[in-house]
Structure formats: structure tokens, C-alpha cells
């Protein structure tokens, strides 16, 4: 049945930077409704894989399929319109906008994005769009951010900033959400909250792929885990299987 098709397929992806093979023949298939973990030592190619999937890089070789269609090298904003959203390891919120305005720009379906620069209607116009304003309010409420609406993200604790980034990514109502190290810099309580947020996102029907170094979080959150090392997939499976895989243990020893 159509519903059983993978939402995302990376087929034999290689990404070379001059002589460096950041990704070497990486294949990956993610089913709708999954929370998939991507782990691996530093420099193993995780973020590069996200950059290929989300259209920031065109792979040297291989294809990306998203929702049954070829999506290789599509511009990020076109992938966003097709239902893919992401966050970044180093937060990329708009520093001169408020929390609410950061959500408003993500709701603007007319915007084209040039790489990560917002190119759309002026903020003042977005603010006067009552429908947009109402929807931004709903997003802020859903992620417990209403009280921070009028503040610039930079003035907020780091854990809240991370939540703003997830709220902004979710504002576009994606079918697939890519999270790049969402727990980085969070304390224990914030990691617990993050875990609940990601589960509720999945329960609302969104597929999630998460790059994460916090193994406790990955093991408890993800149904399946893909392990990268030196640009290759060295293991994939259930958390318990992957954790006992000798190749995985070996890859982490030098990290
Ligand atoms: P990870 O996310 O697993 O830490 P990355 O995907 O960031 O790994 O990096 C994989 C390898 O690719 C690293 O050696 C990194 O230096 C290299 N790399 C990533 N992006 C670029 C780029 N734009 N130009 C050159 N090398 C890059």
C-alpha cells in the first residue's frame, strides 16, 4: 500500500569535498511515523547527510527521494514546501526578530528562501495578516512559548531558544522533521522536555530524523538507529542491537 512506502530514501549517496569523502555510498530508508536516530563519531558525515537530504548540498553521486518523488538537489525552500523542515546544530534563529516573528516568517508560504535568508513579505505586513498572526499564536501555545513572544530569542535561556527553533520548524506543518543535535547544551530537565516534545510531534503524524550525541536520549526516543563512521553506514537497527554491535563499539572507542 502507498502508506507503507518510505517517506525518505537516500540511495547510494556520496558527497566529496575535494579529496575528502564526507559520505561514501550511504543508503537509508525511513518509514512514515518513525523516529530515526543518526549517530556516529564527530566528523562521520551526519550533518553532511542532513545537508544533502535538505537540499543545501547536491550530492556528488546518488539520489534522494522524498514522499515518492525525486528530490535530489531541490532548493531547501522547495523541499520545505514539499513538507520537509529542519533545525541546525548551531541555532539559526533570526536575531533581530522576536520569537513570534521568527514563527511568522516560517508560516509565510509565499516566501522563497535563498539558502537560509528569508525573502518574502516584510515583517510588518506579516504581523498585520490576521490569519498568520492567529496561527503563530497557536504554534507558540503548543510549544509553551507564548510568554516569550515579544522577546528576541538571544535574550532567552539556551533551552528555550532550542524550543523556538523546533517551533519554527514545525510552523510550516512538515511531514518530515530533521533535528540536528537538538539536545546539545541542554540540562537534564530540558532533555526530558525535548524528549516529550519530539514524541508529541511524532504522535501528531510527523516523521522525525534526529542526529544526536546524547546516547541516553537516542536509545529511549528512537525506534531505529543508523550509525555512520567515516562517511559510511556501519550499522542500522533497533537501539539494543546497535548498542551491542562490535563495529559500533569500535568506531566510538577513538572518538
Ligand atoms: P558530523 O556531523 O558527523 O560531525 P560532518 O558531516 O560535519 O560530520 O563532516 C564530515 C566530514 O566532512 C568532516 O571531515 C568535515 O570536515 C567535512 N565537511 C563537512 N562539510 C564540509 C564542507 N562544506 N567543505 C569541506 N568539508 C566539509
Q: How far apart are CA 135 and CA 120, in angstroms?
A: 18
Average of pLDDT values for 240-246? 92
Kindly report, as residue ranges, where domains of CATH 3.40.50.300 are found in the chain.
1-83+174-255
H or E segment to which residue 61 belongs: strand 61-66
For cell 518509514, what's the residue? 31
**Closest residue to atom 18 of ligand 1, CA basis:** 22
CB of 14 closer than 6 A to ligand 1? Answer: no
Question: Residue 144's pLDDT is what?
Answer: 94
Average of pLDDT values for 71-82? 89
Which atom of ligand 1 is nearest the CA belonging to 228? 3
**Closest residue to atom 16 of ligand 1, CA basis:** 43
Contact 121, 110 (CB under 8 A): yes
Q: Across the strands, what pairs with 210?
A: 37, 179
Which atom of ligand 1 is nearest the CA belonging to 50? 6
| C-alpha triplet 116, 167, 203: angle, nearest 5° | 125
**Closest residue to atom 12 of ligand 1, CA basis:** 22
For cell 530540558, what's the residue? 190
Question: Residue 1's pLDDT is what?
Answer: 44
Residue 69 Cα distances to 83, 141, 158, 208, 247, angstroms: 12, 34, 37, 19, 33
pLDDT digits (tens, 9 = 90+) for 168-223: 999 989 999 999 999 999 999 999 999 999 999 999 999 999 999 999 999 999 99
Contacts of 8 (CB under 8 A, 6+ apart): 28, 29, 30, 53, 64, 65, 66, 176, 207, 209
Pocket test for ligand 1, best of 16, 37, 43, 181 (most atoms within 8 A of CB): 43
CB of 90 closer than 6 A to ligand 1? Answer: no
Q: Across the strands, what pairs with 61?
A: 14
Residue 239 clears pLDDT 90, i.e. is over it: yes
Q: How far apart are CA 192 and CA 173, in angstroms?
A: 23
Q: What is the ipTM of this complex?
A: 0.97
Stretch among 22-26, 151-155, 250-254 having the lowest mean pLDDT: 250-254
Average of pLDDT values for 117-142? 82
pTM above 0.80? yes
Q: How far apart are CA 138 and CA 142, in angstroms?
A: 6
Q: How high does pLDDT run on average in the chain? A: 90
Q: CATH for 1-83+174-255, among 3.40.50.300, 3.30.1490.20, 3.40.50.620, 2.60.40.420? A: 3.40.50.300
CB of 17 closer than 6 A to ligand 1? Answer: yes
Amino acid at each position: 500500500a502507498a502508506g507503507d512506502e518510505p517517506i525518505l530514501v537516500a540511495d547510494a549517496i556520496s558527497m566529496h569535498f575535494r579529496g575528502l569523502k564526507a559520505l561514501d555510498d550511504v543508503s537509508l530508508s525511513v518509514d512514515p511515523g518513525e523516529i530515526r536516530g543518526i549517530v556516529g563519531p564527530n566528523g562521520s558525515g551526519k550533518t553532511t547527510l542532513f545537508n544533502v537530504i535538505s537540499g543545501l548540498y547536491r550530492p556528488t553521486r546518488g539520489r534522494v527521494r522524498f514522499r515518492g518523488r525525486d528530490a535530489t538537489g531541490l532548493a531547501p525552500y522547495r523541499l520545505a514546501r514539499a513538507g520537509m523542515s529542519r533545525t541546525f546544530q548551531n541555532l539559526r534563529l533570526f536575531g533581530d526578530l522576536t520569537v513570534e516573528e521568527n514563527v511568522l516568517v516560517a508560516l509565510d508560504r509565499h516566501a522563497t528562501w535563498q539558502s537560509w535568508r528569508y525573502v518574502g513579505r516584510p515583517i510588518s505586513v506579516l504581523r498585520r495578516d490576521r490569519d498568520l498572526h492567529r496561527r503563530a499564536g497557536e504554534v507558540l501555545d503548543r510549544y509553551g512559548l507564548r510568554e516569550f513572544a515579544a522577546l528576541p530569542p538571544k535574550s532567552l535561556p539556551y533551552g528555550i531558544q532550542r524550543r523556538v527553533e523546533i517551533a519554527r520548524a514545525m510552523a510550516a506543518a512538515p511531514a518530515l522533521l530533521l533535528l540536528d543535535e537538538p539536545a546539545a547544551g541542554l540540562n537534564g530537565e530540558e532533555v526530558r522536555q525535548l524528549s516529550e516534545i519530539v514524541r508529541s510531534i511524532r504522535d501528531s503524524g510527523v516523521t522525525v530524523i534526529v542526529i544526536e550525541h546524547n546516547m541516553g536520549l537516542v536509545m529511549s526516543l528512537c525506534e531505529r538507529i543508523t550509525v555512520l563512521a567515516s562517511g559510511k553506514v556501519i550499522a542500522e537497527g533497533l537501539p539494543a542491537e546497535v548498542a551491542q554491535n562490535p563495529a559500533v563499539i569500535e568506531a566510538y572507542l577513538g572518538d
